[in-house]
Structure formats: C-alpha cells, structure tokens
Structure 1
Amino acid sequence: MKERLAPTLALSSVVLLASLMGNDQGGYFTLGWVPAAFVLVAMVFAVSIAGAGRALRGRAGLLALGLFCAYVAWTFASIFWAADKGSAWLGAGQTMLYLLAFWAALVLISLDASRRLVLVASSLGPAVIAAFTLLALQSRVGGLMEGGWLVGTVGYHNGEAAFLLVPFWVSIYLAGSRMVNPLIRGLVIGGATLCTQLAVLTESRGAMVAIFGSLLIFFLISGARLRGVVALLPVVASLGINFHGLNDVYIVSSGGGNPAALLESALPRIWLLSAGSALYGLTWAVIDRGWTPPRRLVRAVGAVVLVFCTLSVVAGGAVAVDRYGNPIDLAHEKWVAFKTNDTSGAGQSRYLSASGSGRYVLWQVAWKDFEAHPLLGVGTQNYEATYYRLRQSEAGSVRQPHSLPLEVLAERGVVGAGLFFGFLFVCVGTGLWRRFRSLSPEGRAQAGALSASVAYWFFHSSAEWFWQIPAITMPAIVYLALLVSPWGNPEVVRVPTRGWPMRLTGAGVAALAAAVLVPLAVSAYYLQQSKTAVTPEKALVFVNRAERFNPLDSQIPDEKARIALELGRWKTVVEAYKREIRLNPENYAPYMYLGDYYARRGDDTSARTYYREALHRNPLDAELERKASSMVRDKTDHSAG
C-alpha cells in the first residue's frame, strides 16, 4: 500500500490541477494553464530520470502515447505554414500540456496508482469549486450570471456546465461501488447533485444532449445498471424538485427582470437537496456493506431496470410523436431552426430552443478551410481570420469553430485528424476490449463510467471549443489514460523503449516542453503587467519585454499601439500596427485599427487604403463598409469642392 501512495497522490494532483483551473476561467488564458504545465513538466522529468517510465505496460498504451506525441509534433509543425504563427505556437504549447498529462498518467498508473482514489479526486474537485461558487453566487450575481445563465468561475456558461458534468458518470460509478468508503460515497453523490443543480442554471443545451447521449453508453457498458439507477435516483429527484425554480431564473433574467429574489429562494434548496443526496448515499453505503442481495435478485432487478428504461424510451417516443408529429419532419424542422438560429421556445426555457447560436456558419467555414487545405490544414488556432473572410452570414465574434472534430480537420488537416482520432480510438477501443474480455464486475463498471465520461466530453466538445479550456479537457485526457492502461497486474510486455532510451525520451519531452512554455509564460506575464502598470511609460517597458520573449505574438504590438496612442508617440503607433499586420496578415483587425488611426489623424487616403484591406478580409462587416464608403464620399466631396 505504501508503494501505491506516492503515484496515487501524484496522479490525483493532476486532476486536482484541472479543478483549480476551473476556478480561474477554466485555465483559458496562458497564465491560467502554464503553471499546471510546469508542474507536469517537473513530474514527467522526475519519473523519467528515476526510471519509472520503464514500468509502462501494454502495447496499446505505448501506441496511444506514440500517436499523441506524433499529433503534438504535427501541431508544432503547423507553425511553419500558419499565417498567424504566434497563435499556432500558443495552441501547440497547450496541446503539449495535454500530452504531459497523458504521459504522467500512463506512468503513474503503471506504478500502480489507485484508479479509484484518482477518480474520487476528479469527482470531488469540481464539486468543491461548485460549492464555493454557490456560496458566492448570491453576493456576486453580476459577476457569475450573464444573460440569464450561470457563467460561473469558468466564465462561459457551456464551459461551466461541462466542467461540472465531465466527471458525472465517474461520480455515479463511485456512489454505487461497494469498494468505496461509505463516507466518500455520500460525498460523491451529494457533489454530483450539487453540480447538476448548478449545471441547470447554465441553461446549456449542449450539456443536456451530451448527458443523455453518455447515459446510454453508461448503462450499456458498465454492467452496473441496478447500482447506477439507485445512484441516479437522488440526483434525478433533486432535479425534478428544483428544476422549475432554477429555470425561472433564466426566464426572469431574459425578460429583463432581476433574478436575485429567485436565486435567494433556489439556492437554499440546492444546499438541502445536495445534503439530502449525501445522506442518502451514506445510508445506502452503510446498508450495502452489511447486506449482499442474492445474485439472482440483482440480475432480475437489473433486467427489469433495462426493460423499464427501454419501455420508457419507447413510450416517450410515442408521446413525442403524438404531440409533435413525425420524428423525421420534427428533426428536419429542428435542423432548419438550428441553421437559421430560430429561438422559438426560448421564452419558456432555453432548453426548448433549437437555435444553433451561429454554429452552422462556424462549421461551414471550418469545412471550407478543410476543403481548401485538406492535407495540412490552415494551422493551429488559425481559424479566426478565415472565419471573417469566408463566412456567409453574421455569427458574432469568434476564434474557434466550436467543434473539436472540425477544429482538428480545419487546422491540422487529414494528417492531424488521423493522428488525433487514432489516439482516441486506441484509448477507448482498448478499454472496451478489456471490459468485454477480462475485467471483473468492478472493472467493467469502472470502464463503463470512464467511457461514458469521455463520451460526454467528446459529445459536448463536438459543439464547443473545450480544447482551449484545460479544466474541462485535462480530466478527459486522464480518463483516456485510465482506459488504455492495463487493469490489475497483467503480464509486462517487453518493448524496445525500456531502460535508458525511455528515460531519455521522457526527459527530452519534458525539456522540450519547458523550452516551449517558458517564453510563452514570461511574455504573458509581462503583457499582463503592462495592462496594470501605473504609468503608460512603465507599461511600454513591460510590452517591449514581452515582445522580446515572444516575437511572434500579434497581441503584443496591438497593446504597444494602444499605449503609444496614449503617449502620443505616433511613429510607434504606426510601426506597431504594421508589425501586427506582418505577424497576422490574414486578420482584418490590424488593418482596421491602422485605418482608424489614419482617419483620426486626417489622412483619408491612407485610412481608405487600410479600410479596404480590412473589408477584403471581413466583407460582411457593416461598420467597416460604412467607414470605407465614408472615406470615398469624403474624397468625392473634397474633389467637387
């Protein structure tokens, strides 16, 4: 047991790092995820030098690791053909974060880290953040609520929902496992209830679809149908009791009302229902330890549950057909609503609206990127510029295509997609193969929970940009490592990478990661300092330091131009904007900024030139069209005069 303690604590710290990032914008900004990356760099370097990498077992795990390494290498290679190399470097660095998490997880599991305790950490971490969010919600409604929905500590309502729900099926497995301490079972089921209650406040339709899709996977694969249903009962009952109160917060807010009074009545119910669920879980666990139901009874009840669920789905489908008509026609109607952003039904609940919130346009552009660059892609995190140039209708300001599969295809091409989806297939396929071939009932339940949790992450990520939110994606990466790693004490597969080659490989990857991450971290630190500096002169000093460490980042000259404008250093303004154009030539924004500058200075000819360049890269921008037309009219009026 002592030998397992160190790897268990180390791997638990990896998933807890993700929870900590969930309390800081999900780790979206560079300074939010880089500290976690440095912890993982140190961890991978230490276990590699100590020779722990030699413990890696199983060809499947090594194959998955090789595919992920190749995907990261391809992501870095995309810097060479990306128009915005600074964004590509940043995206490659974040992908390296996930590789480090996967590598560390594989090694630590091979060192016999307790899977169950790691899963407990991954379940309770978000629940603790949810509890603190709930405590702060009433006093910080303006900061945690936006547009009628909860944006929470992640700062984005769909992201907040995913952060809370990615470990949901792991929690259900733990709550029903006789191998877990009764107190922990109670805490886990209480935490799951708390997280689902807060998730309702996010009004995330993607979360609703993903949770129902992953539910089918959990009950088909886990083999713990009866225990799963018993664990789900308090969560579902709590939602039934409190859903309307939580949903009314959105209805009132979207209608221009003040949700404070509704929150004041809904929040105590969340606490009471979560505490009740925890007590339910504890009581069940205590009874479960003292009484073992006959196997025949378990099988019979499990069969009844399966039949009941099947009949419920069939009956629900029949009711839906009776109420809404032909399902094919209904699906077509919802698809049209999705494409046209029809918000019908949103007045009663956002969950009833089929609006795509502009996603159809985003996906169209991503597919056009893939068609134009099928082999290489446009480069990591280089979607933004092509979106503004290729979109056929307005869909707001975006940086990602809001779909992980399309993001991979558009930005990394067929090669990157083959490596990435091959990695996912090996991890999930290996876990399922073992589940049906050799695992004990406890192992099957665990494999089902992990598969369902990964499925939730993938389903929801297929309509979102969660690759850029480590608090959501990092736990899923650890779950993939748990799926692909051998259970128990299988025969060690001898591979040619054992010994010093494996040590040097791991240490080399860690060193490379540090070399990539240090400039990003230092530059981001100085850029942040520039925004909080007491004087513009001091801010300019910080910006220049940031630029020295990361000369590819187009945001740095943008910040420099802003400060130079404040100082009245006109030459520096022009140089900064022109540098931003060189670093990000396909994006319309720096051309527009330079056009605005020349317009304010009275240089209409230069302003018109840059407005036209910006309009060429963003032809649907009505404000740009107005500015460019205004310059033409001014010139015509001046000539006539």
Structure 2
Amino acid sequence: MVGVCVLIAWGAIDGGYPSTTWYPGALFLLALLAVVLAGLGPPKGLSPEVRLAIACLAGYTVWSYLSILWAAQRADAWDGANRTLLYLLIFSLFATRPVRAGAGPTILIAWILGVALIAIAIVAQLATDTQPLQMFVSDRLADPTGYPNATAALWLSALLPAALLAGRAELPGPWRGLLAAAAVVLGDAALLTQSRGGAYSVAIVAVVAIVIARDRVRLIASLAPVAVAIAVTAPALLELSSRLAVQAPAAAVHAVTLPILPAAAAVGLVVALAGAVERSGRIGPAAASLLRVTIASLSWALALGAVLAAVIVLGNPLARVRAAWRSFEHPALQSTTTGPAGPAQSVRLAAGLSGYRYDYYRVALDAFSAHPLQGIGADNFAQLYLRKGRSATAPKYPHSIELRTLAQTGLVGLVLLLLAFGPALRRALGAARHDPGLGGAVAAAALLVWVYWIVQGSVDWLWEFPALGGAAMAMLGLACACGPLANASSASRRACTASPVPRRRRRALAGATSLVLLAGGVSLAAPWLSEHYVGAAEASWQSEPAKAFGLLDRAASLNPLSDRPLLVKGTIALRLGQPARALQAFEGALARSRDDAYATLELGALASARGQPQQARRLLERAHGLDPDDPVTSGALARVIAGGRVDVGAINRLLASSS
C-alpha cells in the first residue's frame, strides 16, 4: 500500500515527470525494498517466470547503465538508466511477495480510487474555477501531468480495471458502485484531453479485457451503464472547442463539466443497488441464467450496431485507413469538418493520424540502423532529432516504447526487455485464468493496466512518466503475485537451511545485495540533489548571486556528467555582465556534452564579441549543424559571415523570448 501511495502522489504531481519529483519517490521505494528484505528476508517460493522476469529486467537496467559509456549525452543516459532501475524496484516490490487473501483487491482498488480522486478534483476545479484554461493546452486538458496524452493514459489505464471489478459479485454493493462511478469520471475526464492515442488504445484494451476475462457477460454488464453515462455526457465534452469560440472560457468549461459528477453518481447508485440485490440472493438460478442470456444478446446487438454506425459515420474503412496513413506521413493533411464554430473546424479525434510521429520514428529507426547492437544510449534521442529531424518540433523521446528501446539500447536491450515481459505476462495470464473468483479478476484487472500502458506507449512517450510506467510495472507485478507459489517441499527447504554452505552463500548474497542497494541509492541521490541545487540557484541568483554560483558548483560536482549546472551558471554570468565566468562555464559544459547546441552558440557569440571572427564562425557553424532549425543560431551565423559582430545580450534576449 505504501508503494501505491507513491504512485498516486506522482499522478497528482505532474505525472512524476520532473526529476525533482520522481527521484525522491525512487529513493523512498529503494529504502522500502531494503526494509522488506531486512525484515522478511529474501522472497521464497517465487515462480520461475517471476525469477526470469526480474533477472532480465535487472539485466536491462545494467545494460542501460552501460550505455552511459557510449552515449553522447551521458547525463541523460544516467537519468534514463535510473528510471529503468525505478521500474525494476517497483516490479520487484509487487511481484515477489505473495498476495494474501483480500490484499490484492485492496491494493488494486486503492490505486484505482486514488487515480479517480485526482480526476474528481480536476473535474471539480474545472466546474468552479474562474480561469480553467490554465489547466489546458490548445483546448485539451493537460493537468495533472502537463501533457494531454499522458493525462488521458492516467485516466484510461484505470477505467477498464474499475469497470471489471465493479461487476464482481464478491465485492459489496457500495464498493462496486464506487468503482463504476470512478469509471465514468475517468472516461469523461479522458474525453477532455482529446487524445486520439487514448481513444484507439482503450478500444483495443477493451477487446483484450473481453478476451482474458473469465466471465465476459459480467464484464459487459458492468461496462454497459458506464458506457451509457459516458455516451450521454460525451457530446458536450467533445464540443468544448466549439463553445470556446463563442463563449467565455469559464462559462464554456463549466457548462460541459458540470454534468460529469452527477452522471457518475447516478451510475454508482444504480450499480450499488444492483450489487446489493445480487448479494441478497433474491435472484434465483433460473432468473440469473435468463438475465445472462439477455445481457449477452443485447451486448452482441449493441456491438453490431456500433460497428454499423461507425461504418455509416466514418465511411469506407479502407478509405479511412488510407487517409489516416497519408495524414501520418504528411502532417499537413488533417481531417476537418464543419461545426458550430465555423467551417473547416478541426476535429481532433477524427483527424486521422496527423502529427510528426512519422518523422520521429524515421530518426529513431535511422539511429537503430547506425547502432543496431547497443543503440545510442538511454534517453539520447533529443539532440539527435535536432540534427536530423524535419519538423519544427523538438521531441526529447521517440514517442514509442519499442522504438525507444531499439534506438537507445539496441537489439541487446530489446531482447532483455522482451525476456523480462514475456515470462511476467505468462505468469499474470496464468493467475487470471487459474482462479475463477475474485483473485483471478484482480489479476486480470491489474494486467489490463500494463496492457493499456504498452498499447498507448507504443505510439507515445509514456515510459518517461513514472506515474504511468510505475503503475504498469506495479500492476504487472501484482498480477504475477496473485498466482500460486512455486512448489517446494518443506523438507528440502529445511535441508538447505541446515547446510553450512548455503548459510555462507546467504551471507554473501546479503552483503552483495546491500552493496547493490547502496550503489542504487547513490545513483539516484546524486542527480536529484544536483537538480535540487540548480533549482535553488535559479530561484536565488538575482538576490544572492554568490550563493547561486556556489550552489551551481556543488550541483556540478554531484553530477559530473551533466552540463546543466554549467549552462545555468554561464547564463547567469552573462546576465550579471561577467563574460569571463560565462566563457569558463560554457567551455566546461561543452567538455561534458560535446553536442550541446546552446553552449556552442553562446561560445560562438562570445568569440564574436571578443573580436575573434574565425573562431566565432567555426563555433556558430557547428551550432547550426547541431540545431539547423534554430532561427537565433542562423541569424548569428549570418551576421558573422557578413562581417558583423554578434550582440551577446541580444542573443540571450531572443533565446529568452522564444523559450
């Protein structure tokens, strides 16, 4: 439960994305794992699948750390490896301890309701806030993660598990009602994000849920009232962009969000009453059988009707697929429709696959082709895309878990990750199919969280949000823990314990484990403290510049791979009129990260200001090669080529205005 609280806290605080948010949580979970190992000893009775999954995930973590050796941005590779270590910690915490009776549902329901409470708080704020658009990005709900697609993933990864558990007769009626109401809020909140990836992913995962569920009729019956409530509120939610064009922002947002909580409450009440009636035993076997047949027939009829309606509304499916692929290759081609806001208003959920992912994937595949075995290093995509990308965007990640793995850790990383996920999935599916009762339902629902993450994460950058990746690994571990323990005779265990050789091995293993945990703690603490000091320096440099420079020096020593403390130091020095200190800082930054476009630009500008045109041109040409689409760099280079001098202050004002 403590781990669940960390996941929920990350969900509420930017999805756990900032390093100053997820690093403290990672250190806490590392300490928790150490306490568990010290108090309960090493786990016993682990299945071969879980052992193999942990071993391969540990291997992938080690490989990610090794990628620092060949990464161009070594500090980014260190962060990426630390995030992988975090996922190893979370999976190990949840997968290695058998779930006692009642603990599995408690853990899963606590996480679902925790995520739902965040959604309820967001919806309530939208319905009452006088400036609700502060929570949006381009008419799309971004809070609490700051990225609409990640926010959609946070809501939708909990929706289907909530609906599945809401249909379980083993749970009391009030709990089933709470879960159904939570599913409605999560679905409606997801619609406000206008996430195409979320819409496609939840449809795919719904099919997976029906396939793996032992009692499909019960699942469909619990989904039905949730779907009806979302269908009733969806039209207004999807018209938000149109309303914003003709109404005041607060009035428009209030109008579409006010019905969400009443609709959820109504569904929760209906499901709670139905659950109470079912548990009372008033429905006889014959009536129950007739009800199941009726629900199944209606479900098939509704599914067929939905398919026919989709064909009528969307037209020829093959034509839609071809149009979607064209928009994927050429982002300028987007589907439009006429709406209340006027002609040719873009409807995002019907806009095909437009975006720049095609170009992101092209660069990622090129990186894999150039470095097929080891990749370019964990989290080392950003600078590569600045050089080779063809769009005006500057993505830090490839927007795909699979391509991230291939491009950054190569075939070795891909094989290790597949060998980690494969056995874990087999174990989780076995747990879901083994137990026909609530335990199997919990395993299936928990597995759906991971499935959703991997489906949407295949077309988006979700790995980098610990609230999402951490929840996926935790629930995959929980699903594994729901399965039966591996068979081992007590006699063989006693014999093993009595032997002096295994005892010495256990001591050696305990010592090695302590060293690994200590090394992990240092690896997590150093970048976190470094970033903490950088933030403190950025907040205090105007009033206490000497203190700020001291903090930045400390940050640079804590993270000897990162150029960020030195970049901030150089920028502050320029603003304080200290070009010599700035020169030293930017040279130090470039020594740590040879492909840093910003440091190269600043050094070129400083060389020009000192009257060194040849050196300035060389540096600015390199900066332009590192970031060809940056207009500030292009302008500075053109001025130097024309024989003029670059104004360092003007350069930094332009950079500040464009950031």
Which shifted more, 465-474 or 138-147? 138-147
In 1, Cα distance between equivalents of 2:258 and 2:313: 36
| 1:219 pairs with one of 193, 198, 210 | 210
Deviations 1:87-111 (A, max 9, x none): 1111111111111111111233367
Q: Distance in 2 between matches of 1:375 and 1:294?
A: 62
Instruction: Report the more deviating stretch, 348-357 or 416-425.
Output: 348-357
Deviations 1:4-43 (A, max 9, x none): xxxxxxxx22122111111211111111011211221111
Aligned equivalent of 2:574:
565
Q: Which residue number in structure 2 is paired with residue 398 of structure 1? A: 395
State the shift of 1:294 in Å. Answer: 5.7
CA deviation profile, 1:366-401 (whole Å, cap 9, x unmatched): 11111110000000111111111222x214121101
**Partner of residue 324, structure 2:** 334
Taking only the aligned residue pairs, the percentage that are identical comes to: 24
Tell me, yes or no, if structure 1 residue 521 matches structure 2 residue 528: yes
Counterpart Cα distance in 1 of 2:594 and 2:419: 33
Q: Write the distance in 2 (CA, Å) between the matches of 1:405 and 1:298.
A: 45
RMSD: 2.6
Kept in 1, the 8 Å contact 2:165–2:441? The answer is no
One-letter amino acid of the counterpart of residue 389, structure 1: R
* Alignment match of 1:418 (pick from 401, 415, 420): 415
Alignment of 1:169-180 (within 5 A): 169-180=160-171
Residue 65 (structure 2) aligned to one of 60, 65, 76? 76
Q: How do 1:520-599 and structure 2 match up within 5 A?
A: 520-533=527-540, 534-599=543-608
Partner residue, 2:362: 364
| Partner in structure 2 of residue 457 of structure 1 | 453
Is residue 85 from structure 1 mapped to residue 74 from structure 2 by the alignment?
yes
1:292 and 1:505 map into 2 onto residues whose CA distance is 60
2:483 counterpart SS class: coil
- Alpha-carbon distance change, 100 to 324 in structure 1, aligned in 2, over 3 angstroms: closer
More divergent stretch after superposition (413-422 vs 614-623): 614-623
Take 1:420 and 1:296, find their aligned partners in 2: how far apart are those partners? 49
Partner of 1:383: 381
Residue 276 of structure 1 corresponds to 266
Deviations 1:446-503 (A, max 9, x none): 3332333221111111111111111111111011112323525663488999955664
Correspondence for 1:28 among 3, 17, 20: 17
Asked if 1 retains the 8 angstrom alpha-carbon contact of 2:157 and 2:452, the reply is: yes
Local SS of the residue matching 1:552: coil
Q: Which residue of 1 aligns with 2:253?
A: 263
Aligned partner of 1:3 in structure 2 is none
| Cα distance in 2 between the residues matched to 1:371 and 1:553 | 27
Distance (whole Å) between structure 2 residues aligned to residue 233 and residue 405 of structure 1: 34
Change (3 A) 1:259 1:56: farther
8 Å contact kept, 2:400–2:461: yes
1:231 corresponds, among 222, 237, 248, to 222
Q: Aligned to 2:621, which of 582, 598, 612?
A: 612
CA separation of 1:321/1:282 partners in 2, compared to 1, >3 Å: closer, same or farther?
A: closer
Q: Deviations over 1:501-544 (max 9, x none)?
A: 66445444422211211211211211111111132222212111
Shift of the 231–316 alpha-carbon distance from structure 1 to 2, 3 Å rule, reads closer
**CA deviation after TM superposition for structure 1 residue 348, in Å:** 5.3
> 3-state SS of the aligned residue for 2:354?
coil
Quickly say closer, same or farther: Cα 1:597–1:276, change in 2 above 3 A: farther
Counterpart Cα distance in 2 of 1:503 and 1:99: 18
Distance of 1:602 and 1:309 partners within structure 2: 77
Residues 319 and 331 from structure 1, CA distance in 2 versus in 1: closer, same or farther, beyond 3 angstroms? same
The match for 1:6 is: none
Contact persistence 1:56–1:110 (CA under 8 A): no
**Amino acid paired to 2:528:** A
Distance 2:89 2:60 in 1: 13
Task: Give the drift of 1:562.
Answer: 1.1
Q: Does the 8 Å contact 1:53/1:506 carry over to 2?
A: no
Alignment length (residue pairs): 622
Higher relative contact order (CA 8 A, sep 6+): 1
Q: What does residue 468 of structure 1 align with?
A: 464
Shifted more, 289-298 versus 612-621: the winner is 289-298
Deviation at 1:627, TM superposition (A): 3.2
Q: What aligned pairs does 1:486-525 form with structure 2 within 5 A after superposition?
A: 486-488=482-484, 491-492=487-488, 499-500=506-507, 503-504=510-511, 506-525=513-532
**CA offsets, 1:107-133, max 9 Å, x none?**
333677711100011101111111222
Structure 2: how far apart are the matches of 1:378 and 1:78? 8
Matched with 2:442 is 446
Give 1:302-321 correspondences, 5 Å limit.
305=295, 309=299, 312-321=302-311
1:260 counterpart letter in structure 2: A
Task: Give me the whole-angstrom Cα distance separating, in 2, the residues matched to 1:502 and 1:309.
Answer: 55
- 1:103 paired to 2:112: no
Within a 5 Å distance, the mapping from 1:84-233 to structure 2 comes to: 84-109=73-98, 114-137=103-126, 138-233=129-224
Aligned partner (choices 621, 631, 634) of residue 625 of structure 1: 634
Alpha-carbon shift at residue 546 of structure 1 (Å): 0.8
Superposed displacement of residue 235, structure 1:
2.1
Higher mean C-alpha deviation, range 222-231 or range 474-483: 222-231
Shift of residue 311 of structure 1? 5.4
Task: Give the whole-Å Cα distance in 2 for the aligned partners of 1:492 and 1:110.
Answer: 18
List gaps (5 residues or longer) in structure 1. 1-11, 637-641
Residues 293-352 of structure 1: CA deviation (Å, up to 9, x unaligned): 566766665566556555555554455455555433321211111221123237253111
Shift of the 490–53 alpha-carbon distance from structure 1 to 2, 3 Å rule, reads: same
For the 8 Å contact 1:539–1:563, the answer to whether it is kept is no
Matched AA of 1:446? V
- Indicate if the aligned counterparts of 2:90 and 2:474 stay in contact, CA closer than 8 A: yes
The alpha carbon displacement at 1:633 in A equals 2.1
Distance 1:50 1:106 in 2: 17
Q: Could you tell me which residue of structure 2 aligns to residue 243 of structure 1? A: 234
Name the residue aligned to 2:656: none
Identify which range, 574-583 or 97-106, moves more after superposition: 574-583
In structure 2, the residue corresponding to 1:374 is in which secondary structure? coil
Offset of 1:55 from its aligned partner?
A: 2.7
Alpha-carbon deviation of 1:434? 4.3
Measured in 1, the distance between the counterparts of 2:574 and 2:508 equals 54
What's the TM-score once normalised by structure 2's chain length? 0.88
Q: Which moved more, 1:495-504 or 1:581-590?
A: 495-504
**Matched position secondary structure for 1:155:** coil
Helix, strand or coil for the counterpart of 1:132? helix
Structure 1 distance, partners of 2:303, 2:27, is 47
Q: Give the aligned partner of residue 480 of structure 2.
A: 484
Alignment match of 1:345 (pick from 330, 336, 346):
336
CA–CA separation in structure 1 for the residues paired with 2:314 and 2:409:
41
Instruction: Tell me by how many angstroms 1:403 deviates.
Output: 0.7
